[in-house]
């Protein structure tokens, strides 16, 4: 599904990704862990097409397409979803309005008919119920006045409505208490643990991986993947930290 080969990327004059290679197949969940400044968020931004991140070498293909040649909205329409570490607030725009426009824009990009208001609300209500969110919250401005946990749960509702093929989740566990962590973890499994989908989960801590068992855990350091293992690698990091493993 996703094939990254020798990827180099810079912000301004600073090279951050320095030859990163990674393959993610459909049906797999991959976790990336690493020290601060290793390039984890940069990887997510490069794959999603955030401006200001320049790819200087290497390639990334997504379901056979040259991902790096696509505009951000084209990557979204192709099935890529980015979950933010710090979801943004959008005053004056309701969740329902935002999500319906986003979903129908992607459907249009794929040559599909837009959903009617009634059909969309049926999907939105089902996803909100699954995440324990009241529909009234979806009528509020996007993330405005939401707690950290509510923002992350709202993002899971967004992911459920958009229904992507590949979800890149950048520190989704950041700011979550124990109950919210479980709910978000269950949401990831419900939406994305399917044979035709895949997840790239960026995290600092093993705790989310108790709920979302990855197939592979990668350690990212100094812009490249330096070690790959199974879920036990995350437990090893919890015990020993990055210093010895990165060395």
Report, as an integer, the average pLDDT of 54-80. 94
Distance from CA of residue 62 to its chain's centroid?
Answer: 15
pLDDT at 215: 95
pLDDT tens by residue, 24-45: 999 999 999 988 888 999 999 9
180 — pLDDT class (breaks 50, 70, 90): confident
Report the C-alpha gap between 245 and 240 in whole angstroms.
8
Average pLDDT, the chain: 90
Q: Which pLDDT tens digit goes with each residue over 137-163?
A: 888 999 898 888 888 888 999 999 999
Mean per-residue pLDDT, 165-174: 90
Q: Which domains are seen in the chain, by residue range?
A: 2-246 (3.40.50.300)
pLDDT of residue 74: 92
Q: Which residue has the higher pLDDT, 244 or 177?
A: 177
pLDDT in the model for residue 245: 65
pLDDT at 67 over 90: yes
Confidence of residue 188 (pLDDT cuts 50, 70, 90): very high
What is the token pair recorded at 66? 């040259």
The CB density around residue 145, as the number of other CB atoms within 10 Å, is: 10
Q: What's residue 152's pLDDT? A: 86
Model pLDDT, residue 52: 92
User: Band of the pLDDT at 204, cuts 50, 70, 90?
Assistant: confident
Task: State what percent of residues in the chain have pLDDT above 90.
Answer: 56
Of the chain, the end-to-end C-alpha distance in Å amounts to 31
- pLDDT band, residue 2 (cuts 50/70/90): very high
pLDDT at 57 over 90: yes
Element spanning 181, H or E: helix 178-192
Q: What percent of the chain has pLDDT over 70?
A: 98
| Measured distance CA(12)–CA(108) in Å, rounded | 35
Residue for token pair 């509702």 = 157
Question: 174: number of CA atoms within 13 Å, CB side?
Answer: 15
């Amino acid at each position: 599904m996703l094939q990254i080969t020798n990827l180099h990327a810079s912000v301004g004059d600073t090279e951050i990704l320095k030859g990163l290679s990674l393959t993610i197949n459909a049906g797999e969940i991959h976790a990336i862990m690493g020290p601060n400044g290793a390039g984890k968020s940069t990887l997510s931004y490069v794959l999603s097409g955030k401006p200001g991140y320049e790819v200087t070498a290497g390639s990334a293909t997504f379901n056979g397409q040259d991902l790096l040649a696509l505009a951000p909205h084209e990557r979204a329409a192709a099935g890529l979803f980015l979950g933010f570490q710090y979801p943004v607030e959008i005053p004056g725009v309701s969740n329902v309005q935002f999500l319906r426009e986003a979903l129908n824009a992607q459907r249009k990009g794929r040559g599909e008919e837009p959903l009617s208001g009634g059909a969309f609300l049926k999907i939105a209500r089902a996803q909100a119920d699954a995440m324990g969110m009241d529909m009234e919250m979806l009528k509020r401005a996007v993330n405005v006045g939401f707690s950290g946990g509510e923002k992350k749960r709202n993002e899971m509702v967004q992911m459920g409505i958009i229904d992507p093929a590949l979800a890149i989740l950048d520190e989704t566990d950041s700011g979550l208490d124990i109950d919210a962590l479980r709910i978000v973890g269950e949401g990831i499994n419900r939406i994305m643990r399917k044979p035709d989908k895949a997840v790239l989960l960026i995290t600092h801590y093993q705790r989310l991986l108790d709920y979302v068992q990855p197939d592979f855990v990668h350690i990212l350091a100094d812009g490249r993947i330096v070690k790959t293992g199974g879920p036990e690698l995350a437990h090893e990091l919890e015990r020993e930290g990055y210093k010895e493993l990165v060395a």
